[in-house]
A and B are shown apart, each in its own frame.
Chain A
Amino acid sequence: MAAVVVLDSTLRLATPLILAALAGLFSERSGIIDIGLEGKMLGAAFAAGCVAAVTGSAWVGLTAAMAASVLLALLHGYACITHRGNQVVSGLAINILVSGLTAFLAVAWFAQGGRTPQLPDAARFLSMDWPGAGVLEAVPFVGVVYGELLSGHNVIVYLTWLAVPAVALVLYRTRFGLRLRAVGENPFAVDTAGVSVAGVRYRALVCAGVLCGLAGAYLALAQSAGFLRDMTAGKGYIALAALIFGNWRPVPAVLACLLFGCLDAVSIRLQGASLPGLGEVPVQLVQALPYVLTVVLLAGFVGRGVPPKAIGVPYAKEG
């Protein structure tokens, strides 16, 4: 039973990570470093919180979240693609800017100490119970798996489950995906083939923006009932770590997100609990594990990732 509860909350906690990691996948496979996942998610969460509070509609809130996140992605593109700016600096600027801007506007507009108003249920994405969950409850195993794991999530969680194969298909089975992977490896090959490098990269960033928008909306409209100051709390960076951990490939990255989500779920359950033989496990240790694991992987002690070849290099014809 405890295992199912942990698995269940793993799914919930991993959802924004998966969405953000898939967003990062689009951006980084096209050759643009995306430190700004955190900022895009936070901006989206804020837009979702504001708009849902004003309109009372979760779906309008979700649209606003995507729009905000795509705008930030375009800003990143304007700096990195159009002006060939440093991609790390640009991403960092977006993170810091959004962190200040959302808190600032939340106070200025709603005067509730940096949060948006508490949303009524109608303006949120609530869990949906699948038919028959109640009936099956009595059946051992099947009842728990069906009722807790499959049923009882909100629509964004299900969208995320759909997004994973969809992203993999786009990346590996479509013309857009082929061109996207090509600009990340050798932009000159794409340019000489008569395809605009900037165009492909901008489109990749827009995809990243849409996915980050979903992630942000999940935080503000599903996990919480509104926007809270700095509510992403480093999830964007964990998603980035998962992307690297997954060697810039969709399925391994998603597995890494599930692993990191699971660590998070375990650390919540461990709070104050004592394990037999180990005594009290410091929660901070479990919380720091995703970062430690990523560093260990980056150090090449357990295999080595191969980043897209052209990542981080602004594309310029002369040079």
Chain B
Amino acid sequence: MDKWFGQVHANRRVDLSVSSGTVHGIVGENGAGKTTLMNILYGFYRADRGQILIGGKPVGFRHSGDAIAAGIGMIHQHFMLVETFTVVENVMLGAEGSPLLGPAGRWARRKLAELEGEFGLQVPMDVPVGELPVGQQQRVEILKALYRGADILILDEPTSVLSPREVEGLFRILRTLAGRGKTVILITHKLAEIMAATDRVAVMRRGAVVARRRTADTTVSEIAELMVGRQIRPASRGVPVEPGRSLLDVDRVTVRDSAGVARVHDVSFSVRAGEIMGIAGVAGNGQSELLEALAGLRPVATGRILVDGEPAVSGSRDRRRRGVAHVPEDRRRSGLVMPFRACESAILGYHHDPRYGRGLRLDWPAVAGDTRARMEAFDVRPANPQRRTAELSGGNQQKLMLAREVERATKVLLVGQPTRGVDLGGVDFIHDRIRSLRDAGKAILLVSANLDEILDLSDRVMVMAGGRIMGEVPAGRAAEPDLGLLMGGVRGSDVPDRAP
């Protein structure tokens, strides 16, 4: 089976077979083609070549309705729920059975109650799903699929938004489902989940299936090697520099979102010159909000942020003045301007720099020259400042952003997800740049959803859960199981607890 996106070969000659009553894992790095494959199975995209067989019969899916009719249910990474609708309304949407909602609703309610009983998936029926916690929303998604008579359930990165306790609950549900004859396909890039929840596993790399194993017959390290296609090198930390004075102090900071809900609770820490501080945690536990507050993009509700001993005020311009540079988590949304030329993206935030023109005027030849030099220094290919930002690959976009920020980090660099969607060669390059900036005596704060990246780069690791700092682990000990407990919001007794 093959799938093209424009000029990208997202899936190449993928062969996969899954037997019923099992949990089948599909593992691969970001961009390995897992999600594309599943979207084809679900009829959301169409394959350019190849076929799908269910129970030995070839099926052709023109749209997701066909896939549903064939007994496939998909639980997407981002839930496909209407937040203002109740659970019952969401579950019956598209499978109402009757043109009138009255009888349809009564019927749906009865069937839902049966399913809840059969699979142990309790959810309140008349609450708008937007008001439910994410774990429950996921149950609604599973119920939606079961309600449609799904025999094959596909879960795409189902744990990325869950706490460890919710993950355990989910795995219990998956086992129950398999036990009752359903087929479960679990897509993930987390190896521990594969080991914990699956019977068989297929490894994908760059759009192709590179290996199939019985989970019981394999090991984490074997799968990891297959996934990246090379030996995992031991973390090369270089020569640790003796950290200098504190450049970034966070003093009892609380951050609220626009609805007034506290996302970061009373957080305190410091980052010193010459060290990389990594923040680990399950996505959505306040790391993004903390990073944005530190970058001046979110107001601080209470507490203080000090840069080199001086209190900082709100606004990203203040930070740039103080020598704090920021590589944001989402380059497509905020770090770059996709429709702009590369040189226009390369001055974002520094468009007031006098080297780009005097007075009100922007001197484009000067901007382009400067951008070309930066692109060459950071190996952005092609090093053409007139090229549209959107036409650069993800890795090159990321390098363009680093090219803009790194030099400006005279004191502090804040980095979010520095290698998301970046190919392997680019990852090494970016990691080297971050390390050499550390070696040059800057303070670096790293937020990443990729735990390996955190462990690979950081000198110290701090864990956030529920908007609080659960604890701090020195780099050497970071791989210990404590980390998992901390990420799940459980304070390990042997972990140095920073709370007074």
Residue ranges of A at the interface with B (Cβ–Cβ < 8 Å): 172-179, 181-182, 185-186, 188-196, 309, 317-318
Given contacts A178-B96, A179-B94, A194-B63, 18 further A-B contacts (CB under 8 A): A173-B100, A175-B98, A175-B100, A175-B101, A175-B104, A178-B93, A181-B82, A186-B80, A186-B82, A189-B82, A189-B93, A191-B44, A192-B76, A193-B144, A195-B65, A195-B94, A309-B84, A318-B5
A191 neighbours in B (Cβ, 8 Å): 44, 63-64, 80
A203 to chain B, nearest CB (A): 13
Q: How far is the CA of A191 from the CA of B84 in the complex (A)?
A: 17
B96 touches A175 (CB 8 A): yes
> Is B193 part of the contact surface with A, judged by Cβ < 8 Å?
no
Given A175-B96, A182-B85, A194-B65, the answer on whether A189 and B101 have CB atoms closer than 8 Å is: no
A selection of 29 A-B contacts at a CB cut-off of 8 Å is A172-B101, A175-B99, A176-B99, A177-B101, A179-B94, A181-B85, A185-B84, A186-B80, A186-B81, A186-B83, A188-B78, A189-B80, A189-B81, A189-B82, A189-B90, A190-B93, A191-B44, A191-B63, A191-B64, A191-B80, A192-B76, A192-B80, A193-B68, A193-B80, A194-B64, A194-B67, A194-B69, A194-B94, A194-B148
Q: How far is the CA of A186 from the CA of B94 in the complex (A)?
A: 13
Residues of B within 8 A of A173 (CB): 100-102
Given A190-B93, A194-B65, A174-B101 contact (CB < 8 Å): yes
Question: A194 is contacted by which of B68, B92, B98, B101 (Cβ under 8 Å)?
Answer: B68
Those of B93-113 within 8 Å (CB) of chain A: 93-96, 98-102, 104
B269 within 8 A of A: no
A-side contacts of B42, CB under 8 Å: 192
The distance in angstroms between the C-alpha atoms of A173 and B98, with both chains bound, is: 11
| Cβ–Cβ < 8 Å partners of B65 in chain A | 194-196
Q: What are the residues of chain B within 8 A of A309 when measuring CB–CB?
A: 83-84
Determine if A174 and B100 form an interchain contact, defined as CB atoms under 8 angstroms apart: yes
Inter-subunit contact A182/B101 (CB<8 Å):
no
Chain B residues with CB under 8 Å of A317's CB are 44-45
B74 proximal to A (CB < 8 A)? yes
Shortest beta-carbon contacts, A-B, top 3: A193-B94, A194-B65, A189-B80
Q: Give Cα distance in the complex from A186 to B78, angstroms.
A: 12
Q: Please name all residues of chain A whose beta carbon is closer than 8 Å to the beta carbon of B5 when the two chains form the complex.
A: 318
| A177 proximity list for chain B (CB < 8 A) | 101
User: Complex formed: what's the CA distance from A309 to B90 in Å?
Assistant: 16
Q: With an 8 A cutoff between CB atoms, is B472 at the interface? A: no
CB distance B102 to A188 under 8 Å?
no
User: How many residues on chain B are close to A (CB under 8 Å)?
Assistant: 35
* Contact yes or no, A193 B99, CB < 8 A: no
A178 contacts B68, C-beta separation under 8 Å: no
B99 CB, nearest partner CB in chain A, Å: 5
CB-nearest residue of chain A relative to B91? A193
Within 8 Å of chain A (Cβ to Cβ): is B89?
yes
Q: Which residue of B lies closest to A176 (CB)?
A: B99
- Closest chain B residue to A185, Cβ basis: B82
A47 to chain B, nearest CB (A): 31
A190 — which chain B residues lie within 8 A by C-beta? 93-94
State the CA gap A195–B63 with chains docked (Å).
Answer: 9
Q: Which residues of B contact A196 (CB under 8 A)?
A: 63, 65
Chain A min CB distance to B152 (Å): 15
Q: Quote the shortest CB–CB distance from A284 to chain B (angstroms).
A: 40
Report the separation of the CA atoms of residues A188 and B45 in the bound assembly, to the nearest whole angstrom: 13
- From known contacts A175-B96, A185-B82, A318-B5, infer whether A192 and B44 are also in contact, taking CB-CB under 8 Å: yes
Which among B85, B89, B92 has the greatest number of chain A C-beta atoms within 10 A?
B85
A177 to B102, CA, bound (A): 12
Query: Assuming the A-B contacts A179-B94, A189-B80, A193-B144, are A174 and B99 also in contact, with contact meaning beta carbons closer than 8 angstroms in the complex?
Result: yes
Interface residues of B in 377-416 (CB under 8 A from A): none
Please give, as numbers and ranges, the residues of chain B lying within 8 Å of A179 by CB-CB distance: 93-94
- When distances are taken between beta carbons in the complex, the residues of chain B under 8 Å from A175 are 96, 98-101, 104
Residue of A whose beta carbon sits closest to that of B45: A317
Chain A residues whose C-beta falls within 8 Å of the C-beta of B93 in the assembled complex: 178-179, 182, 189-190, 193, 195
Inter-chain contacts of B92 with A (CB < 8 A): 178
* Contacting residues, chain B, for A188 (C-beta < 8 A): 78, 80
Q: Which of B50-95 contact A (CB under 8 A)?
A: 63-69, 74, 76, 78, 80-85, 89-90, 92-95
* Docked complex Cα distance between A195 and B100 (Å): 17
Bound-complex Cα distance A173 to B103 (A): 10
- Minimum CB–CB distance from A228 to chain B (whole Å) comes to 41
Q: Residues of A contacting B83 with CB < 8 Å?
A: 185-186, 309
Q: Mark B298-340, 1 if CB is under 8 A from A, else 0.
A: 0000000000000000000000000000000000000000000
A162 to B432, alpha carbons, bound, how many Å?
71
Q: How far is the CA of A240 from the CA of B37 in the complex (A)?
A: 44
CB B442 to nearest CB in A, in angstroms, measures 36
B99:A192 contact, CB within 8 angstroms: no
In the complex the two chains form, is B100's CB within 8 Å of A192's CB?
no
Q: How far is the CB of B42 from chain A (nearest CB, A)?
A: 7
Chain B residues lying within 8 Å of A176, measured Cβ to Cβ, are 99
Point out the residues of chain B lying under 8 angstroms from A194, CB to CB. Answer: 63-69, 94-95, 148
